[in-house]
Amino acid sequence: MDKVRQVSVFSENKPGRIQKITGIFGEEGINILAISITSTNGFGIIKLLVDKCDLAYEKLKEHGFTVKLSEVLAIEMKDSPGGLHEVSQILSDKGINIENAYVYVVESRARAYLLVEVKDIEKAREILAGSNLNFFRHEDF
């Protein structure tokens, strides 16, 4: 099971913050594969799956952003009706609770990844080791 890392960015909820991030990525040639934004009570967290996550982390930090690198499960699913259901069924059967999730579509109508944050990733990995799930493959980046 390959490890996939996401970049989380803390941001006040105000105009221009995303634009600043995308501007930095544009300059550095960093490609955003998937993005999730959660906001509440005047602030938010932007989660990004990018092709060069170490570079993204360093560059955002250099520009004064508050950032964190963390691991997510990247579970392969079919990009077709029922695809998410299959995956979520397995997670639910195994008793794995999703803290946060978003999707990276690799091939439209064919293949996507469900990016899942869980409380204890090591444990989740162990539990899922024998399941029918496919995980992230390097060539997809």
Partner 1 sequence: MSRTDPLIEGAFWQRQNEVIERTFLEAEQLHHLKETLDSVYSNVPFYKSRFEKAGLIPGDIRSLGDLRRLPFTTSDDLRAAYPFGMLAVSKEDVVRLHTSSGTTGKPKAIFFSRQDIENSSDLIARCLVMTGTGRGDILQNMMTYGMFTGALVMHYGAEKVGALVIPAGPGNSDRQISFMQDFGVTAFHITPSYALYISSLMQERGIDPGKDLSLKRAYLGAEPYTEETRRKIEYIFGIDVYNCYGLTEMNGPGVAFECMHKNGMHLWEDHFLMEIINPDTGEVLEDGEKGELVLTSLRREAMPLIRYRTRDITRIMPDNCECGRTHRRISRILGRSDDMFIARGVNIFPQQIEQVLMGIKGVAQNYQIVLESFDDITVRAEISKDLFDGNIEHLLDLQTEIADKIRAEIIVKPKVELLEPGALPVSEGKAKRVIDNRTM
> What residues pair up with 77 in beta bridges, in sequence order?
112
Q: How far is the CB of 24 from partner 1 (least distance, A)?
A: 15
Q: Is the Cβ of residue 67 or residue 87 nearer to partner 1 in the bound state? A: 67
Q: Is the Cβ of residue 10 or residue 94 nearer to partner 1 in the bound state? A: 10
Q: How far is the CB of 61 from partner 1 (least distance, A)?
A: 8
The 3-class SS string of 48-71 reads EEECCHHHHHHHHHHCCCEEEEEE
Q: How far is the CB of 68 from partner 1 (least distance, A)?
A: 4
Q: Show the DSSP H helices in 1-141 as ranges.
A: 17-28, 53-62, 83-93, 121-128
Residue 33 near residue 104, CB atoms below 8 Å: yes
What does residue 123 show for φ and ψ, rounded to 5 degrees? -65, -45
Residue 32 near residue 48, CB atoms below 8 Å: yes
Q: Is the Cβ of residue 5 or residue 125 nearer to partner 1 in the bound state? A: 5
Q: Is the Cβ of residue 63 or residue 137 nearer to partner 1 in the bound state? A: 63
Q: How far is the CB of 66 from partner 1 (least distance, A)?
A: 5
Contact positions vs partner 1 (CB under 8 A): 6, 8, 10-12, 38, 40-45, 47, 64-68, 70, 99
